[in-house]
Chains A and B, each alone.
Chain A
Amino acid sequence: MGADYGDATTVLGVRLDRFDRLRETLDGDYKATFGLTTVLLFVLAAIFAPELAPYDPMAQDYAIMQAPSLSSAHPLGTDSFGRDLLSRLMFGARISLGVSLVAVTIGAVFGVSLGVVAGYFGGWVDDALMRFVDVLWAFPWLLVAIMLVAVFGQGVWNVVAAIAFAYIDDFARLARGEVLSIREEEFVLAAKNVGLTDTRIMVEEVLPNAVAPLIVQFTVLVARAMLAESTLSFLGIGVKPTTPTWGALLGQGRSLIGQAWWISIIPGIAIVVTVLGINLFGDALRDAFDVRGEGGSQ
């Protein structure tokens, strides 16, 4: 990324005309529009779950256990305790989306800090920090999750911690790579000559210029985090079984596949549609910000 932005106004290093390009991209692109619309729909459903959900997600009704979709007053059917699946999905969206967002944010804060410092100083600092990142990377995140559950019991925060842990290295490597090229730019050298402190240069000069690829990375990893959350909950090492995350809902249906397939298929569809939406939106962002490379494939 060059330092010469011409007349374009920048906010946090992202040229505003890039957002115009984003709008253009969204205008003609059914992919991006679909992505953004789906994500917004699910976010709204999550936020307004208490108002919108037709039933109490915890209310059990033994008269209508495992009711199939579209067959009763329950549009998506009920689970083995007669709980309304649609309501559970809507409340589950809060936890599934919330866990992913918080986890990736924490991963980004630690990872970007490590990466920027490593890339900016180079030399032995770089070596030491990146080997630390290698350790994080080589330590299986699934194991982290299992350990946390073994020590602290099941709970939302273990899932957040395990996922955040897993993504620190992704952010660190990307940020470092960006900073390596930015630190040679004239405006960074100029800032050094003026006598700005390293911390100020990193925060005010370097980081803003690395922000576009990091935003794209963030989007892609939120999508991956949702898959990771569902995997952990499915394996029973995620949230408490009573917490209705999408993965947990799906996992509860697993033993009932023969009799009530919809209990595991419908939450799965919710996961797939949301993750697909986030991925498509992330791809539109990548085009708009002109970020090279394929996200999610590092």
Chain B
Amino acid sequence: MGLQRYVAKRTLQAVLVVYVVATAVFVAVRSVPGDPARLVLGGDADAEAIAAVRAELGLDQPMYVQYGRWMADLAGGDLGESIFTGEPVAARIVGAAEPTLSIGLVGITIAILIAIPAGIVSATRRDQWEDYVATGVAFLGISMPSFWIGIVLLLTVGTAIPAIPSYGYTPIGEGVGPWLANVILPATAVGLPYAGIITRMTRSSMLEVLSEDYMQTARAKGLPPRLILFKHGLQNALLPVVTVAGILFALLLGGIVAVEMVFGIQGFGRLLIRSIERQDFPIVQGSVIVISVIFVFMNLFVDLLYMSINPKIKYGGEA
């Protein structure tokens, strides 16, 4: 199978996956008991008003009509409007995404800054005290729930340094300083467990590379150890780490939701949970589609990247 055909096939499959996820969430939100129209109007609304709102929102239509309309809108790139505020769903998601993305990006930066040096030291000083410390700390990182790290950080750093606010979020547009002060603690909480994972990966990837023939050759040629390590070793060792660090970003989401709660940040997690509580179908549907698109295409991208790194992997999954 040629590369182009393979990419086309995988892209088509990815779109299919997103379509199935979208359909599943459409059915799922509607199987939750309750009526969004009643929630919009409040408990003591009369039946006539509720019927009017249902008609306005199109909720009185049969399921397949609602589904058809939604799919048609979706095909045109329209995610619809919030049942509660009437705002476009896309705008709501973009608005809520800034804090979440900030926490995620700063978190992964912190993780990489800690993990890659720690992993290299761990591999080059294998079975010495530096390795034990790095491995021990990495395991501790993997074993802590992010939100709990957040609570501990609040109690320690948050109370010790008054300049670091323990609550809320400042958009980056209002200044990088205040933004970073708000983001640093939640980002650390999210980043530490991932630092643990990336340290472990860097270590084993580095150990593998260190035992390769070309490293022996470089040593035999009498190249300086530092040059060998950084030029030959690191470049090769980091390739798999970087690809996986990319896909990790998608997985950060679960941790971020709980951390947003600890720090009272109105991010994507808060939006999703609140929208489910209020049965704001369009927002829930839109959010899930956005998440699944990120997941699926990130996965596809990483697969293709792996293939370009390692030509031994054949197209079509026949390993």
Contacts and interface: CB of A to CB of B under 8 A. Distances in A.
B295 A223 contact: no
Interface in A132-185: 134-135, 137-143, 146-147, 150-151, 177, 180-181
B143 A275 contact: yes
Contacts of B253: 140, 142
A174 to B, nearest CB: 13
Contacts of B295: 137-138
Interface string B125-167: 0000000000100011011111110011011000000000000
A257 B288 contact: no
B32 A147 contact: yes
A290 B317 CA distance: 25
Contacts of B317: 122, 126, 130, 180
A139 B254 CA distance: 12
A66 interface: no
Given A257-B155, A261-B155, A272 B17 contact: no
A227 B292 contact: no
Nearest to B262: A254
A247 B261 CA distance: 14
Interface stretch (A48-56, A80-88, A229-237): A229-237
Interface stretch (A57-65, A188-196, A263-271): A263-271
B104 to A, nearest CB: 14
B148 A250 contact: yes
A224 to B, nearest CB: 9
Contacts of A283: 139
A181 B255 CA distance: 35
Nearest to A235: B258
Interface in A16-43: 31
Interface in B210-259: 244, 253-255, 257-258
Nearest to A220: B142
Nearest to A276: B143
B151 A138 contact: no
Contact of A297 (B14, B20, B200): B200
B75 interface: no
A133 to B, nearest CB: 10
Give me the 5 closest cross-chain CB pairs, A-B, nearest first: A276-B143, A138-B292, A275-B143, A268-B148, A150-B32
Interface of A: 31, 122, 126-127, 130-131, 134-135, 137-143, 146-147, 150-151, 177, 180-181, 223, 227-228, 230-231, 234-235, 237, 247, 250, 254, 257, 261, 264-265, 268, 271-272, 275-276, 279-280, 283, 293-294, 296-297
Given A271-B145, A275-B142, 18 more contacts: A122-B317, A138-B291, A139-B25, A139-B288, A140-B254, A143-B272, A143-B288, A150-B32, A180-B317, A223-B143, A228-B254, A234-B258, A261-B155, A265-B151, A271-B144, A272-B148, A294-B200, A296-B197
25 contacts: A31-B139, A122-B317, A131-B16, A134-B299, A135-B21, A139-B24, A139-B288, A142-B272, A143-B272, A143-B288, A180-B319, A223-B143, A227-B144, A228-B254, A230-B145, A231-B258, A234-B258, A235-B257, A237-B273, A250-B148, A254-B262, A265-B155, A294-B200, A297-B197, A297-B201
